[in-house]
Structure formats: C-alpha cells, structure tokens
C-alpha cells in the first residue's frame, strides 16, 4: 500500500500542505522543529485515528486556529492493488473558556471515502508502521507503553479487537466506580457479580488475542533481531496480571482461562474494594522482553535497546504484510542518524521490500550510500514542503 495524495491543513505548523506521492522511497530533509515529525505524525494518524505523541488533541491544532477558531484537516488517499481508500480526520475548532484560560473546543470526526465512521471502523484501512526515537520507551517505559504497542498492532488487523477494548474499558470504568461506592458503604458487594462476569468475558477475549499476536511477533522478530544485532538473542512473552506460570499460558482453553480470571477476582476482591480500583485484568498486563536471557530494560545498552525496538517495528511490518496481504507504509522518523553505518545499511537494505517508505532526516548524508531504484527528495522548512533534486 502507498499514500498517493496527502493534504494537511492547520495541523501543528503545517498550514497548507498538499503532496502527491509515489511508490518507492520519499525522503524529507529539514532542520529540527520545522515539521518533519509533524508530517509523520499526521500520516500515522490516518492509520490509527489518533496521535501517540500527545495527551490532549488541543496540542495538534495550529496556534492561530486554536486562538481564533477554524478547521483542521488531515486527508490521505491510500492505494493498493485491490482498493483505493480515502481516509480523513477533521477537527472543527471553536473558542472556549474556563476559569483560568481560553481553551479551544474541538469536535473531531473520522471519514472513510467521505462517510463518517467510528474509530473501530476507521483504523486498519490504511496501515502504517512508524519508527521514531521515542520507540525506546516501549522498553524503558511503564507496562502501559508495551500494551499500547501491541494494541495498536492488533487493531490495524482486527477491528473487532478495537471494539473489545472499548467494551472492556467501559467495564473497568463502571466497575471502578462501583468499587469506590462499596468502599464508601454506598453499594453492596453482590453488585460486583454483573461487572465481574462482563470483565471475565472481555478480559478472556483480549488475553487470547494478545497472546496469539505476541507469539507471532516473537516468531518474526528472532531472525530480524539476530541479523541486526549480529547474533544476540531476544525473547518476547505475554505477562498477564493473573496468577499464571509462563509454562502453561498456551495450554489453557477458554473455560479454564475464564475460571482462572474469576479465581483471581475473588482472591483480590477485598484489596480492590479497599483501594477502590480494579487490580486484575488486561489493563494491568505487561509484555516481557528479554535480551540475551535478561530483562532488556535495565540490562540492554541504549544502542542495544535501539536495535531491539527497531527489530520490533520491522517485525510489526512483516506481520502486517502477512496478515493483510499487502505491505504497510513504513515511516522512519529521524532514526537513521541514530544507527552506525553497518546497521544503517542493513535497515536500508530492507526498504525495497515495501511499496512506500517515508524517511525524515536533518541532512541527506545517507542518500549517497544507498542503492534504491526510486527515491524522491523533499525539503521541509517551517511546515512548507518543496520537492528537490537527489544530492550528488
């Protein structure tokens, strides 16, 4: 798959960006702070419907529009051998006020081929794998970072999984409210039965799907990481927040799994009530990543961690290709400068396997050392993009 047309209006420092892109490799050159990462962020949003870089969508809005109201649009046309998809994200922005400061009111909508869609029907129409320096936080950050990573991967191939996550999050929200109410003697413990049953059902769905995908990811990453690292070993396994040994994770049928979740809920019920929050379930799970037999976080160096996360992303791309039948768009946001020349050659050598690759960099130092059949080069300055010649 590749994006043939891209329009970005009022998104961060991209006031009016219009690009016609082709297959092959497109390289965007510019100084830091001029809009390279914002471009990649916008393209990635066309795949997953939201930004992974911010907590508030207010930060995505161009400052002038945020102050004076207006419209923000990200639109892209994705093409593959079998389909053409137009994905569009709109933000209608109007002025708003609270007691401290002026805050814009934002109404967001998602469209596929002109029709408004829910996020669960939007994600997965255009598939993008995004490489960026912050990916190191998959290893170094809290379990929520690793859960987000695997959930984004699964969501691009399984829209039912998105709906399951949405239902589960609602269950946890309602159950937490009830736990607090029980703690305050405003509700009875027996009222938990309804929400426990729903938690068990949705948690089992998430567990089974995550465990399956992590197994596929592990099988894919081993040869990729070995090649990039020069033979180092890597292991990836699912660590659910239930009393379960790693050895029998894959040996449980659904009934056994649901019974195990139920047992854990009973075991921790008193503690959950005292804390007023749900302590058991996929929202507490983790993914364990080992490097040469040791937990990678804290053991692997920054350089080794970079290779691990890069291997995970390349494996993600291979897995998406396998499951969807077409290659995802690869977006490499200023990561080549982080690699030594040998690793850079290995990564660049894989680019020909994908229909479209988007690379950002502060300079074009690497272009003279790669042999790719189709390269387009663009300059980015203050959010404006112009096509230029390949440096010689």
**Which of 38-42, 81-85, 172-176, 270-274 is predicted least confidently?**
81-85
In this structure, is the dihedral angle defined by the CA atoms of residues 77, 78, 84 and 87, taken in order, positive or negative? Answer: negative
Sheet order of strands, 234-239 included: 234-239, 286-291, 294-295
Q: What is the mean pLDDT of residues 108-125?
A: 97
Q: What confidence score (pLDDT) does residue 247 get?
A: 46
pTM beyond 0.85 = yes
| Beta-bridge partners for 86 | 77
Give dist(CA 364, CA 355) in Å, integer: 21
3-state secondary structure of 364: coil
Q: What Cα–Cα distance (Å) separates residue 235 from each residue in 93, 225, 295, 321, 328?
A: 45, 10, 9, 22, 24
CATH number of 140-324: 1.20.1050.90
The domain locations on the chain are 1-127+326-392, 140-324
User: 249 or 115, which is more confident?
Assistant: 115
**Spatial contact of 199 and 278, defined as CB atoms under 8 Å apart:** yes
Residue 86: predicted pLDDT: 98
Contacts of 177 (CB under 8 A, 6+ apart): none
Residue 246: pLDDT over 60: no
Q: Which helix (H) or strand (E) element contains residue 144?
A: helix 143-155
Q: What CATH number belongs to 1-127+326-392?
A: 3.40.50.300
User: For residue 248, is pLDDT > 70?
Assistant: no
Rounded to whole angstroms, the Cα distance separating 252 from 209 reads 13
Query: Is residue 98 very low, low, confident or very high in pLDDT (cuts 50, 70, 90)?
Result: low
pLDDT of residue 244: 63
For residues 316-344, average pLDDT: 91
* Residue 99 pLDDT exceeds 50: no
Share of the chain above pLDDT 70, in %: 95
How much is the average pLDDT of 259-268?
94
Split at pLDDT 50, 70, 90, the class of 372 is confident
Which of 29-38, 64-73, 225-234 has the lowest average pLDDT? 64-73
Q: What is the pLDDT of residues 171-200, one digit of tens each?
A: 999 999 999 999 999 999 999 999 999 999
Phi, psi of 210 (to 5 degrees): -60, -45
Mean pLDDT of 360-383: 84
User: What's the helix, strand, coil split of the chain in %, to 5?
Assistant: 50, 25, 25
User: Tell me: the pLDDT tens digits for 251-262?
Assistant: 889 999 999 999
Residue 122 contacts residue 83 (beta carbons within 8 Å): no
**Angstrom distance (rounded) from CA 51 to CA 306:** 22
Contact 306, 339 (CB under 8 A): yes
Q: Per residue in 340-355, pLDDT tens?
A: 888 888 888 888 889 9
pLDDT band for position 300 (cuts 50, 70, 90)? very high
What is the C-alpha to C-alpha distance for residues 27 and 124, in angstroms, rounded to an integer?
A: 24
Q: What is the pLDDT of residues 282-294, one digit of tens each?
A: 999 999 999 999 9
**pLDDT score of 150 more than 80:** yes
What pLDDT, on a 0 to 100 scale, did the predictor assign at position 43? 98
Distance between start and end Cα atoms, the chain: 29
Beta strands 24-29 and 375-381 are: parallel
Residue-level pLDDT at 348: 86
């Amino acid at each position: 798959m590749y994006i043939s047309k891209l329009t970005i209006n009022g998104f961060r420092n991209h006031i009016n960006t219009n690009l016609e892109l082709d297959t092959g490799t497109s390289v965007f050159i510019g100084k830091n702070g001029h809009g390279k990462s914002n471009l990649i962020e916008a393209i990635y949003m066309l795949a997953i419907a939201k930004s992974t870089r911010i907590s508030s969508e207010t930060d995505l809005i161009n400052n002038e529009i945020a102050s004076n109201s207006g419209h923000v649009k990200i639109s892209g046309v994705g093409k593959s051998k079998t389909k053409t998809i137009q994905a569009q994200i709109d933000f209608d922005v109007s002025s708003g006020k609270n007691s401290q400061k002026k805050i814009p009111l934002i109404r967001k909508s998602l469209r596929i081929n002109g029709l408004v869609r829910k996020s669960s029907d939007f994600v997965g129409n255009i598939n993008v794998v995004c490489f960026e320096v912050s990916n190191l936080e998959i290893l170094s950050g809290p379990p929520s970072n690793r859960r987000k990573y695997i959930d984004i991967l699964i969501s691009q191939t399984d829209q039912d999984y998105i709906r399951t996550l949405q239902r589960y999050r609602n269950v946890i929200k309602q159950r937490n409210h009830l736990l607090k109410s029980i703690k305050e003697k405003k509700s009875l413990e027996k009222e938990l039965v309804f929400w426990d049953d729903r938690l068990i059902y949705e948690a089992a769905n998430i567990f089974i799907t995550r465990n399956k995908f992590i197994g596929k990811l592990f099988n894919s990453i081993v040869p990729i990481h070995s090649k990039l690292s020069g033979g180092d070993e890597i292991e990836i396994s699912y660590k659910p927040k239930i009393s379960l040994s790693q050895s029998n994770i894959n040996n449980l049928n659904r009934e056994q799994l649901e019974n195990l979740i139920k047992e854990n809920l009973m075991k921790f019920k008193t503690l959950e009530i005292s804390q007023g929050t749900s302590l058991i379930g996929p929202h507490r799970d983790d993914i364990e990543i080992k490097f040469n037999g040791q937990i990678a976080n804290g053991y692997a160096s920054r350089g080794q961690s970079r290779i691990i996360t890069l291997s995970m992303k390349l494996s993600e791309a291979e897995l998406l290709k396998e499951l969807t039948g077409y290659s995802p768009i690869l977006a490499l946001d200023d990561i080549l400068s982080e690699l030594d020349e040998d690793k850079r050659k290995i990564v660049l050598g894989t680019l020909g396997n994908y229909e479209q690759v988007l690379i950002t960099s502060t300079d074009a130092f690497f272009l003279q050392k790669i042999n790719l059949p189709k390269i387009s080069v663009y300059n980015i300055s203050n959010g404006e993009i112009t096509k230029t010649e390949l440096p010689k």
